[in-house]
Amino acid sequence: MSAPDTWSRRSLLLAGVGLAAAGCTTPSGASNAQRQAPPPSGRPASATTRPTAPTTAPTAATPAGIRPSARFDLATRPRVALREVRLHESDSTMQGIGYDTANHRLFAVQGRDGRPGADLCINQVGRHGKVLGHVHVNDAGHGQSFGVESVGSKSYLWFESDATENTRAGRGTALARFRFAPGRRPKVEKFLTGSPEVGCAIDPVAKRLLVRRFDGQATTYRLYRLADATQGDFGRPLAAIPEPSNTRLQPDGGTPVLQAFTVLGSYVYTWVGTGGHAGTASDPFNTFLSAIDLRTGRIVQQRRIRIGRSLAYREPEGLAVDVVNGTPRLCFGFASRPDPDGPRRLASIFYLDTLR
């Protein structure tokens, strides 16, 4: 029952068990269409904006300081982590996932029931699918990919914020970092403000932040030390590559939609595709995982994902790295429905854990 906290150019409410705070979000699963953000007009007292270095899009890979690492073998058999669980907002689709690997927490982002498209709900989900808590972030973005930073026993989220518009087409124009704390008003720090579109993911093993940013002309991935990013230092990327075209990330000729991305070691992983019903004209087996070398910008492995055929209106949503008993997992999600034509939404997560 708390009042919204006004910050940046719109009112953003983080509410869960009565929480008001600053607004934040992440980019979503659309194509590389150009999107312009209006200039920010103000900032709340609770939000701190760090100075950041200007960035220009690389035309080729510019590896600066990463060694080749093992990568997930996309050809191995996926396993089930969670299947058809309900999130806090029963009628809204899951959009993204993230893991606090040190504290064994899963976060899942979805839209808010009955609200504009850029208003989001962040769920904390137990290992067996029970929702343990939630916060609301209004006018934030699409919720495609985000980072979770472990700080002792606390979970800090790196989320897109300040959406271009409060519709399903809205995308974040800044990164916001804040503690996930239902019932409390967190301190919010903002980075890379004024971006036409920006989102991120975290490598929990190497402690690095991957930033996906559209600068008005091209979309790039840049990798940073997480310690540098928390200090607002975005002038020393470890690697920078242009994003491959979505038609290369979805080679079957279908409508290319980037749903999520993540990072582990020297590889970016992307999750591309659209939703549909098995056995129909909109059969959903146009879902592809790709591995991209951050040192060269080359796609080194790609696979069509067919698991989850029985899910009604199976739509790829969410991609993140978890670590279980010391073994990294590439976790990818699907949104579905208990009734193909009904309003309810379900979330499932599968994973690969073989490295090569």
In a domain, 44, yes or no: no
CATH for 10: 2.115.10
In a domain, 52, yes or no: no
Q: Confidence class of residue 126 from pLDDT cuts 50, 70 and 90?
A: very high
Number of domains in the chain: 1
In a domain, 167, yes or no: yes
| pLDDT tens, position by position, 34-78 | 333 333 333 333 456 664 544 566 766 765 589 999 999 999 999
Q: Residue 346 above 90 pLDDT?
A: yes
In a domain, 125, yes or no: yes
In a domain, 49, yes or no: no
| pLDDT tens, position by position, 66-122 | 999 999 999 999 999 999 999 999 999 999 999 999 999 999 999 999 998 899 999
In a domain, 46, yes or no: no
In a domain, 309, yes or no: yes
Q: How far apart are the C-alpha atoms of 295 and 61, rounded to whole Å?
A: 6
Q: Is the pTM of this model over 0.75?
A: yes
Q: Domain limits at 178? A: 5-35+58-352
| pLDDT tens, position by position, 236-277 | 999 999 999 989 999 988 888 999 999 999 999 999 998 887
In a domain, 43, yes or no: no
